[in-house]
Chains A and B, each alone.
Chain A
Amino acid sequence: MKPAAFTYHRAHDLTDAVGLLTDLAAAGEDPKLIAGGQSLMPMMTFRLARPSALVDLGPLRRVPAMTAIADDPEVLALGALVTHHAVETAALSPGFAVLSDAMRWVGHLPIRSRGTVAGSLVHGDATAEWCLLALLLDAVVVAEGPAGRREIPADELFHGFYATAVDPDEVVVEVRFTRPAPHAALSEFARRHGDFAIVDAAVALELDGDAVTGGRVVLGGVAPAPVRVAEAEAVLAGAGDPGDALFAAVADAAATAIDPPDDPPVTAAYRRRLTRTLVADACRRAVPQTVGGAR
Chain B
Amino acid sequence: MNDPHLLTLHVNGEEHEVVVEPRRTLADVLRHDLRLTGTHVGCEHGVCGACTVLLDDAPTRACLVFAVQAEGADVRTVESLGGEHGALSDLQQAFSDHHGLQCGFCTPGFLMLAEGVLAEQPDASREDIREALSANLCRCTGYQTIVDAVCATAQARREATA
Contact = CB atoms under 8 A, between A and B. Distances in A.
Interface of A: 1-8, 34, 37-38, 41-42, 45-46, 52, 54, 56, 58, 85, 104, 108-111, 113-114, 193-194
A110 B44 contact: no
Nearest to A54: B22
Nearest to A44: B23
Main secondary structure, interface of A, reads mixed
Given A7-B22, A46-B45, A110-B59, 19 more contacts: A1-B43, A2-B23, A5-B21, A5-B22, A6-B22, A8-B3, A8-B5, A38-B61, A45-B63, A56-B69, A85-B58, A108-B49, A109-B113, A109-B116, A110-B52, A110-B58, A111-B64, A113-B59, A114-B58
B68 interface: yes
A144 to B, nearest CB: 22
Contact of B64 (A4, A38, A194): A38
A103 B55 CA distance: 20
Contacts of B113: 109-110
Nearest to A56: B69
Contact of A194 (B52, B63, B134): B134
Contacts, number: 92
Nearest to A38: B64
Contacts of A193: 134
A160 to B, nearest CB: 24
A147 B3 CA distance: 30
A104 B131 contact: yes
Q: Specify which of B45, B66, B131 lies most central, judged by the most chain A CB atoms within 10 Å of its CB.
A: B66
A141 B69 CA distance: 25
Given A8-B5, A37-B66, A104-B131, A42 B45 contact: yes
A34 B58 contact: no
Contact of B46 (A34, A41, A52, A56): A41
B64 A109 contact: no
B60 interface: yes
Interface in B1-60: 1-3, 5, 21-23, 25, 28, 43-46, 49, 52, 55, 58-60
Nearest to B49: A110
Nearest to A115: B64
B45 A110 contact: no
B22 A109 contact: no
Interface in B52-93: 52, 55, 58-61, 63-66, 68-69
A8 B66 contact: yes
B23, B49, B52, B58 — most chain A CB neighbours (10 Å): B23
B147 interface: no
Given A45-B44, A56-B68, A6 B61 contact: no
